[in-house]
Chain A
C-alpha cells in the first residue's frame, strides 16, 4: 500500500482542450479518496494519468515519494476497475482473475491459492468456469474487483464502478467496497459523478469542476462548509437552493431581503456580511433548512406551491422561488424553483400559498462569482469582487 501525491499535475489534450488544471493533492496511505464532479470535469483524466494511460502535460505524480511518470502502466503496480469492467471476454472468470498474477510470473501454486482466496472473499467460487458473457452486471463487477484485488497492488483506481448497476445493487456493492477497503486498509481513489457515492464512501472527497479542484475535505465538511457555489450546489439531493438576495442596512446592522421578505443574517456571518451591504449576493438554503409554519419575529417567507413529490417518509415541495435562482454553475434557472424537504403530511395542491420558516443559522452567502462569504481564510482582500 502506498501514498500518492499529485504535484501541480495538469493535462491539455492534443487538440488544445484543457482537461486538468494544476492539481495538488496527497492521498494518504490507506485512504479512500473520492473524486466527484460532473461529466467532463477531468476526474477520469486523473485516474488515467495515474494509471499511465495518458501522459501528463505538466507537474508530477509520486507514489511513495518516487515519480512514476517515466514508467509505463504495466510497471506502476496500480490496479484499475473500469466502468464497463473490461473483462477479457475470451477467458473464464478464473483466467481473468489469474491474469495479473500470470503477468507477474508467480508460480502456479501461488496463483491458484490467491485466485481461490479472492473468489472466496467476493463470493465468486460458483462462477470460476464461466465466461464474462454469461455473467450478470453485478457478477461482472465483482470479477472486475477481484481482478484488481488479486495481486495486492499499491493503489486501487475505481472509475465509476457502480454506474452500470441497477440502483438496488448499487447500494449493496457500495457497502461491500467500503467494507473491503477498511479490511484491506488499501489506498483507493474512487471516481464518480454520483454525489451519494461520494458522501457515503469517501474518507475525503475532492470536488472537481472544469478541470479544477474546487474543494477537498471530509464529506460532512464539504456539505456543511462549501467553499463556493459549485460545491454547495453539487453536493446534496435535492441540491442547495441558490437565490439572489439583497443585503441592506437595517438598524445599524445588515439584513437580507429575499423577494418581498426579509431575513436576519446568520450570526456567524454578521461580521463578514458588513462589507457587502447594499449589494446582491447569492443566498444558499439547504432544502432541510426550511420548515412549514410562520414563526413570530420574522424569518419567514411565503411561497406558492408548484408541485409535490411524495417519497413516503418525507416529501419534497417545489415552490416558486421568491427571486432569481441559479444552479451550481451560476446559470439562472427558469422558472426559479425552491426545493423544500418536509415530513409527510396533508397534500398541498399546486397554487397554495404557504409560509416557510427559515432556519437562518443554516443560511449560506456567496458572492456573485460564487465564493462563499464568511468562511475562514478565504475572504477577498478588497471586499467585493466582480465577475471577470
Chain B
C-alpha cells in the first residue's frame, strides 16, 4: 500500500488519469509494445515470407550474431565512430562555444550559421555531401585539396574507398552535430555567474586559468550530457551511412543500426534484426547509466 497521504480527492485522481491516458496509450503502443515484441522476436526464428513455422530458438540469434563478421565489423565501426566523433565534436563545440560567448557585434549571425546544419534533415545534408565528395578531379573536395596542396593530392573516390569511407561519414556527422553541442555548451556557459570570473581574475587567474578553473568545472554537467548524447547518437548512426556509403565498400562503413535495418527489411531476417536492436538497446542503456552516475558524482556530498 502507498504510504503517501491522499491529498488529492479520489474524483480528481480519476480525472487526472484521464488526462494521462492519451500519452500513456501512445507510449505503450509505439514504444513499449514494439520493444517487448523485439525482445520476444529475437528469441525466435521469425522470417518474413518464410514457409517454416515460427519456433522458439532461445539465444541462437545472438550466438549467430556474435559469430558474424559483418556484425562484428559494424560494432567495431560504431566504436571507432564514437571514439573519434565524440571527443572531436565535443572539443570543436567547446571551442566554438567559447568563441561565440564573446561580446562581439553580429554574434547572433555566427551562432545562426553554425547552428544551421542541425535544423536541416540529415538525409538531405548527406546527399549534399555525396555531391561534394564526388570522385575524380572535378569533385569539389578533391578539387579543393588538389589546389590547396599545389597538385600533390591524388583525387580519389572517398565514399568507395575502404580507408576513406568511414572518415567521410564521421566528417559529415561532426559537421552536422557540432551545432547542437555548441548550443548546449553555450547555454551552460551563459548560466555561469559572471562574478566567479571576476573573483578568479581578482585572485590572479589569467584567461586560461579562468577557463580551466571556472568554465570547465561549471560546465561539467553540460559536458557529460553532451558527450553521452553524442555517444548514443554515434551508436545510432544510420542516415549518413544509408545515403553516403550503404555500409560499403565491403562493410568498411557499416553500423549496427544499418545492419539491423538491412537484416530485417532487405533480407527479411526479422529475428536477427531484432537481436541487433536489443544489443543496441543494451549499449544505450549502459551509456545512460554511466551518465546518471557521472552526474550524481558531481553533486556535493551531502544532499538535503
Q: Which residues of A contact B (CB under 8 A)?
A: 51-53, 72-74, 77-80, 82, 84, 86-91, 99-100, 103-104, 131, 133-134, 147, 151
Contacts and interface: CB of A to CB of B under 8 A. Distances in A.
Given A86-B196, A88-B196, A90-B220, A73 B201 contact: yes
A53 B198 contact: yes
B300 A78 contact: no
B56 to A, nearest CB: 53
B209 interface: yes
Interface string B192-209: 010110111111111001
A86 B218 CA distance: 13
B204 A74 contact: yes
Contact of A74 (B205, B218, B220, B298): B205
Nearest to B214: A88
B302 to A, nearest CB: 6
Contact of A80 (B202, B213, B218, B301): B202
B217 interface: yes
Given A131-B301, A134-B302, A100 B203 contact: yes
Given A78-B202, A103-B209, A147-B203, A86 B300 contact: no
A100 B204 contact: yes
Given A74-B201, A103-B203, A104-B204, 15 more contacts: A51-B198, A52-B201, A53-B198, A73-B198, A73-B201, A79-B203, A80-B198, A82-B199, A86-B195, A86-B196, A89-B218, A90-B218, A99-B205, A103-B205, A151-B203
A181 to B, nearest CB: 18
Question: What range describes how many residues of B lie at the interface?
Answer: 20 to 34
A367 to B, nearest CB: 42
Contacts, number: 67
Contacts of A84: 195
CB-based closest 3 A-B pairs: A73-B201, A103-B204, A86-B199
| Dominant SS among interface residues on chain B | helix
Contact of A82 (B198, B205, B300, B302): B198
A175 B79 CA distance: 62
Contacts of A82: 195, 198-199
Contacts of A73: 198, 201-202
A50 to B, nearest CB: 11
Contacts of A103: 200, 203-205, 209
A158 to B, nearest CB: 12
A104 B196 CA distance: 18
A139 to B, nearest CB: 14
Contact of B217 (A80, A90, A100, A134): A90
B211 to A, nearest CB: 13
Contacts of A72: 201, 206
28 contacts: A51-B198, A51-B201, A53-B201, A72-B201, A73-B202, A74-B202, A74-B206, A80-B198, A80-B199, A82-B198, A84-B195, A86-B198, A88-B196, A88-B200, A88-B214, A90-B217, A90-B220, A91-B217, A99-B213, A103-B200, A104-B204, A133-B300, A134-B300, A134-B302, A147-B199, A147-B203, A151-B203, A151-B204
